[in-house]
Structure formats: structure tokens, C-alpha cells
Amino acid sequence: MKFEKEFASQTVPEWREVYMNYKYLRTLLEQILIFRQRQPQGSNQPNRPKPSRLLKRKVSLTRAFSGLTNKSVTKHKEDEVIVVNAMQQADEEQQGDHECPRYQTIFLRSSEDGGDLELVFFKGLDDEFNKVIRFYKTKVEEVVKQAAELSNQMDVLIALRIKVNNSSIEVSEERQEDHQKRLDDADEHKMADLEVLNRVKINATTETPRSTVRNVFNSLNVDLNYNKSELKLAHRKLKQAFLEFHEQLRFLKNYAFLNQMAFSKIMKKYDKITSRNASDVYLQMVEESYLSQSDEVAKLIERVEEVFIKHFCNGDRQQAMNILRLKAKREKHMVTFFVGCFFGCSLALLVAIITSVHARNLLQGEEHTKYMNTIFPLYSLFGFIVLHMLMYAGNIYFWVRYRVNYTFIFGFKQGTELGFKQVLLLTSGLSVLMLAAVLSNLEMELDPQTENYKAWTELLPLGLVIVLVLVAICPFNILYRTSRFFFLVSLWHCICAPLYMLTLPDFFLADQFTSQVQLLRNIEFYVCYYGWGDFKKRDATTCNESNTFEIISIVIAVIPYWIRVLQCIRRFCEGRDSTQAMNGLKYLSTIAAVVSRIIYIRRRGTSLKILAASTSGVATIFNTYWDIVMDWGLLCKDSENPWLRDKLILPNRFVYFIAMVLNVVLRLAWMQTVLDFHEAPFLHRNALIAIVASLEIIRRGIWNFFRLENEHLNNVGKFRAVKSVPLPFSYEDEEDKDL
């Protein structure tokens, strides 16, 4: 692997803009190389190696810096190529904050042929190095401040721990001294300043609906009660804060190492192309700079690990290191094998179903109508799930390919996120179960023992639903328990909106349900068919002709959009962001369109048709604009990429235009209900509904990719690479402090 690819693969995606631009500098070197190759053999140029082997040397990040640690070589003045000066002055944007030296390289051979190209190279090299130094110094200062805050939080936690452990009696000064002598931690060996507890409050959480309601009437910070529940909560929050802080420190350490390596490699390439010896001087400057000499990050890493071992792992170093330094997941060949196996079985079952239907003339006449009105909606539910999971697997594949940090955006626990192969494994497994149940149901109809539609024959779809629910809530550590729990928690937050603090996974999941309205209606049909319908005779008349069923159907269709409205209200109340108010109006317009369309389908009439068409048109325009402009960040008229945005991840710009057109076309699919295309001569009504629902799922899958791409670019613009964890304690006098 070339160094450039290896370098790019190990960078922090959110900091990509502030790494050394190796590709740009390599391009400048290629221009110098081309110029030198075009010079005649007798020109006044120094000897150089054969150009065919100049840029083919393989490199590895595991090698030494190749010059960063070498001692400077004594040169005669006539052999000097560059002189590097460090100007101790503040940058314009940093005046009054902190001074950052700016390095400038003076090229001493500019009079030679092609010297102007080398001047451009060193100008770009200086700009990149100054950019790296400036960012690194700023980040180091930030983590030093964070470390001080975490240290204060630990002092409070230790004091709270002592207070809670001695809460049964009043602790006297003598008892405190005796207790301190028995403590193992060196920090706790000193007199614990329990008075610090009188100056702090515990940050109230919004993790339950009860606490949310309480916080509406009370302040966000509450007095300490010195109980074990507060201690447990503070311990958990502070542990997570240390984990995120340690990850940020590792990012900074890796940032310094990779950039030093990049400057070493680019200077070695320069020496090979020009046959000069300028790398020693420049790399000596790099070695003596803040990027190499600063040891704050290394010291902080050691200190954080010591504290984490003592306070959060009971002195077990191995356990602490396993938590702090999670190893990258290894791809298992077994997963790939079973994915292929299950997909092969799915294709075989699908062929068997089609063959059985056509060869035996099944599903003809009245039986065909019964099947499409009852069994088809029952099994199409699983088809919608499978299609959505396929789209999600495709999203993950392209997110990983184009380095969209979806694990950080969603907040997955490191090492537990599902890759696209794991999602495909679950998808293919569910597909096999669904198709096997469909084939079994068809075959049972020909069996004399089950031809009267006995109960156990018709209960196959319900049994499959029960299996899925049991697997989802299974408490055992099988079938990706962490991911299942994450999904259930987000689902519960959606159900209880707006009583929980809103996070991206919550409203992202709610948006998925707005594209699965037909799936929710199928769940309603399950309840009605097996609860009030005569499923033994495949009779769903009670459900389809019931006014109560019609009203519930409208409510079911509205629920996903109403959840998003409540979530927008919560976000508006938290941040007073007018954008969230507009977003809520968008979903209210969609609710009006959905209700009017359902009423029109049921009642008919010219006035209802006009109402349905107008509300649907407004909602379509509103939603399409929001998708493309707000969620995707596209259609920026004055951007560097006309009608897109300044920064794009996909290399081909036309993909964005295709996605925008598809979004508009697929959103118009719901207009078929208004334009009387709800039935087709060659398709049953339920089949057409399933096709339209599938198109909406595909549209949502496309939306998912560009929505997360835009979120990732927003994080890149703000250099957000780690989660912001709320700390458990706040000081009474820190309201005016900028922490």
C-alpha cells in the first residue's frame, strides 16, 4: 500500500482538513519531476537517480521516521539548500489568545532552472506545517483544560464516596483522619476535603420521563442527598467522560505521529527527485518543534490510565487497558460464509415458491383474492423489514468506503457496531425464515390434513412474528445483544417523545418509521386478523369493513409523524431553534396530507379529492425542499460545487443530482392514491400498495446516506471527533466560567 493511502486510512475523519495535505505536496513534487525529466542531458542540473524508480518505494507507518531522529550532518555553506526560520509572532486570528511560532523556509537555489517550482513546494510545505502546529497546539491547550476539570470532578467523586460510605454516622475530624490512613489511593491519602461537597450540585439527568417532568419545574442542578444512587450515577458518568477523554488523547498522539511521518516521507521524496540534501535541515526543525517536543499528551495519557485503573477498575490494569484500548474487530469468515449460504437458500426458496404457484395453478379466482387480502399482508410485513435492512447494509458499506464516521454519529459503543456483513447476515437469515414459511403455507394448502385451513396452518406468520419479538428482547448475549438493546432504547425514546433528551439515533429512527407506515398498518392487521377475524377460514371481512379499523388505520399512519412533531418541539424548547419549529410544521403538513388521502380513499368525492391533492402537493414540496436543502445541505447556489455544497464526499458530482431527482420522483409515488391509480388491471390492490411502500423504503435508504454524510461534514467543520459527555457535578460559582 502506498504511503498516501495508508496515511489517509489512519487519519481521524473529522480532522481530515487539518492533517498535512500529502496529496497536494506530492503533486508539486511531480511537477518538479516532470520539469527535470524534460531538461536536456547536458543542462546544468545536479546528478539524480533514474526517474522510473523515484516514486515507487514502498513505505510503512511502522518504520522509523527516517530522518527525524538522525543527528544533523555538518555541511559546507556552499552545500546548503534551505534555511528554516521560526518567527515568534502571534497569528492574526490568535492574537490575545496564545502565540504560535510561524515557520518559514528560505530556498537558497531559486536562481537555478526550475527553482520557482521548488519555491512553490517549500511555500506549500511551510503552510501545511504551520497549519498542523497551530491545530495541535490549540487541541493540546483544550485537553489540558479538560484534564483540570476532570481532576476537579474526581475530587468531588472521592469526597462523595467517603461521605456515602460513612453516611450512617456523623463523620468527625478524628474519624476522617483514621479513615484516610486506610485508603490505598495516594490522592485519597491526603485529608479529604469534604467541604467541597457544600459547593457543588449534581447535574439532574433527563434519562427518564419522571426526571424530565421534574426538571420542568425545578432547576437543572439539584442538591446532593449523599445516597448510593447519586454515587452510582456520578461514577457512571465520570467513567464515560474518562473513556472519551482518553480516546481524544489517543487521537492527538496519533495525529502528531502521522504528521511527523508525513513530513519525513515528503522531504525524502524531495531529496530523491532533486538529488539535494534538504531533508536533514527541515526534519531537524520538525524534531525541535512543538509537534515533537511537547509531552503534555503523553503525560495526560499516563495519568488518565492511572486514575482509571484505581478508581474505575479496582486496580485491575489488564481490565482497564481492555476497556481503554479496545482492539479493532476482526472480520470473521464464518459470517461471510453464512451470508452467502442464506442468500443462496433464499433464492432457491423464491424459485420454489414461483414454481409451485405456476405449476399447480394456485391462487386462482376466489382463492387468489382471499390470499391477497389475508396472507399477502401478513408476509409482506417481513418483506418490508428485509428491504429496509438491505438498504441499511448498503448504507453502512458506502459510509465505511467513503469514511463517514457513522459509529461516532450514532453513538455506538466502540467495538459493538454492526458492519454491513453482520446486517446482511441478519437480513438473509430473516429472508430464509420468511420464504420458508410462505412455501410451507402454500404446500399445506394441498395437504388433505390441512386443506380446511386449520389453525396451526394459518398461524405460521404469527409464529414468525413472535419469534422475531423474542429474539429482539432476548436478554442473553447472542445475536448482537448490544445492538439489539441500543435499538430498543431508541425505540422506547421515540415512543416516549418528548420526555427524553433527544439524540440523533432517536430522531433518525423516528424518520425510518415515517417510511414504514405500511408496515405499521400490517401490524394492525395482525392484531385484527388474529384477534377479531376468522383466520381459520381466511376471512378478514371484519377488519376490512370495520369503521373502528378505519379510524385506527388513520391513527397508525399519523403516529410516526406525530412522534417527529413532539421531538421537534423538544428540540425547540431546549435550544430555541426556529429551524426545529419549521421542521415540526413540515411534519404537521404531512399529517394533514396523510389524513386527507386516507379519507379520500375511503369516502371518495370531488371536494375530498381536491383537499387530498392540495395537502399532498404542499407536503411533497415542503418535504422535498427539507430533504435536499436542510437534511442533505445541497442546492447551495454560491458553493464551490454549483448547486451542491462546498464539501462533497463522493468523487462524482452527478450522483448528487441523480439522488435529488430520485428523491423527488419517489416522493411523488404517494400521489398515485390521489390520482386514482390505487388499482391496476394486472396487479391486486395490496400488491400495488406494497410496491409503493417499497419505493418509499428505497427513497429512505438513499436519504440515509446523504443525511449522515451531511452530519459527518458538519462534525468535520467543527472538528468534533469524540462525544461530549455531560459531567456529573457543577460548582455553584461556575455559572460565569467558561469550562
Backbone φ, ψ for residue 57 (5° rounding): -75, 130
Q: For 254-384, where are the E strands, in sequence order?
A: none
- 123 versus 51: the higher-pLDDT residue is 123
Cβ atoms of residues 80 and 108 within 8 Å: yes
Q: Cα–Cα distance between 225 and 383 in angstroms, integer? A: 52
Q: Cα–Cα distance between 131 and 578 in angstroms, integer? A: 36
Q: Is the per-residue pLDDT at 737 higher than 60?
A: no
Does residue 354 sit in helix, strand or coil?
helix
pLDDT in the model for residue 711: 94
Lowest-confidence pick of 225-229, 293-297, 391-395, 490-494: 225-229
pLDDT in the model for residue 282: 92
**Section 389-413 average pLDDT:** 94
Who's near 589: CB < 8 A, 6+ residues apart? 615, 618, 619, 622, 623
Q: How many CB atoms lie within 10 A of CB 703?
A: 24
Percent of the chain residues past pLDDT 70, beyond the cut: 81
Domain layout of the chain by residue ranges: 333-718
pLDDT in the model for residue 187: 46
Backbone φ, ψ for residue 190 (5° rounding): -75, 165
Q: Is the per-residue pLDDT at 688 higher than 60?
A: yes
Average pLDDT, the chain: 82
The dihedral through the CA atoms of 243, 247, 252, 253 has a sign that is positive
Q: Cα–Cα distance between 245 and 251 in angstroms, integer? A: 10
Show the DSSP H helices in 576-667 as ranges.
578-603, 606-625, 654-667
**Section 194-213 average pLDDT:** 69
Burial annotation 20-44 (CB, 10 A radius, 16+ → b, else e): bbbeebbebbeebbeebeeeeeeee
Q: How many CB atoms lie within 10 A of CB 252?
A: 25
**Pairing relation of β-strands 200-203 and 221-222?**
antiparallel
628-676 pLDDT, tens per residue? 999 999 999 888 898 999 999 999 999 999 999 999 999 887 666 555 5
Q: Is the per-residue pLDDT at 72 higher than 70?
A: no
Length of the chain equals 739
pLDDT in the model for residue 167: 58
pLDDT band at residue 55, thresholds of 50, 70 and 90? Answer: very low
Instruction: List, as one string, the DSSP characters of 397-439.
Output: HHHHHTT--HHHHHTPPTTT---HHHHHHHHHHHHHHHHHHHH
Q: How many CB atoms lie within 10 A of CB 220?
A: 11
Chain centroid offset of residue 366 CA:
50
Percent of the chain residues past pLDDT 90, beyond the cut: 46
Q: Cα–Cα distance between 708 and 715 in angstroms, integer? A: 10
pLDDT band at residue 210, thresholds of 50, 70 and 90? Answer: low
- 88 versus 479: the higher-pLDDT residue is 479
pLDDT in the model for residue 673: 54
pLDDT in the model for residue 451: 59
Who's near 363: CB < 8 A, 6+ residues apart? 357, 371, 372
Q: Cα–Cα distance between 687 and 695 in angstroms, integer? A: 13
Q: Cα–Cα distance between 160 and 199 in angstroms, integer? A: 12
pLDDT band at residue 175, thresholds of 50, 70 and 90? Answer: very low
| Residue (of 100, 103, 84) closest to 92 by Cα position | 100
**Section 165-182 average pLDDT:** 48
pLDDT in the model for residue 414: 79
| Residue (of 737, 727, 739) closest to 221 by Cα position | 727
pLDDT in the model for residue 94: 45
431-481 pLDDT, tens per residue? 999 999 988 888 776 666 555 556 677 788 999 999 999 999 999 988 999
Cβ atoms of residues 349 and 436 within 8 Å: yes
Cβ atoms of residues 666 and 698 within 8 Å: yes
pLDDT band at residue 327, thresholds of 50, 70 and 90? Answer: confident
Q: What angle do CA 552, 555, 558 make, to 5 degrees?
A: 155
pLDDT in the model for residue 92: 46
Residues forming beta bridges with residue 534, ordered by sequence position: 539
Q: Cα–Cα distance between 212 and 243 in angstroms, integer? A: 26
- 214 versus 344: the higher-pLDDT residue is 344
Q: Is 551 exposed, middle or buried (0-12, 13-18, 19+ CB in 10 A)?
A: exposed
The dihedral through the CA atoms of 16, 17, 23, 25 has a sign that is negative
Lowest-confidence pick of 134-148, 377-391, 452-466, 592-606: 452-466
- Residue identified by cell 505536496 is 25
- 160 versus 423: the higher-pLDDT residue is 423
Q: Is the per-residue pLDDT at 27 higher than 80?
A: yes
The dihedral through the CA atoms of 526, 532, 538, 541 has a sign that is negative
Residues forming beta bridges with residue 84, ordered by sequence position: 105
Chain centroid offset of residue 149 CA:
27
pLDDT in the model for residue 700: 95
Lookup: cell for 723:
462525544
Q: Cα–Cα distance between 328 and 479 in angstroms, integer? A: 19
Cβ atoms of residues 443 and 356 within 8 Å: yes
Who's near 611: CB < 8 A, 6+ residues apart? 596, 600
Per-range mean pLDDT, top range of 4-8, 301-305, 371-375 = 301-305
pLDDT band at residue 413, thresholds of 50, 70 and 90? Answer: confident
pLDDT band at residue 50, thresholds of 50, 70 and 90? Answer: very low
Does residue 202 sit in helix, strand or coil?
strand
- 734 versus 296: the higher-pLDDT residue is 296
Q: Cα–Cα distance between 211 and 269 in angstroms, integer? A: 61
523-567 pLDDT, tens per residue? 999 988 888 766 777 777 777 777 788 888 889 989 999 999 999
What's the half-sphere exposure (Cβ side, CA atoms, 13 Å) at 480?
A: 19
**DSSP 8-state class, residue 727:** P
Q: Cα–Cα distance between 621 and 385 in angstroms, integer? A: 28
Packing angle, helices 685-718 and 654-667, rounded to 10: 140
pLDDT band at residue 189, thresholds of 50, 70 and 90? Answer: very low
pLDDT in the model for residue 66: 41
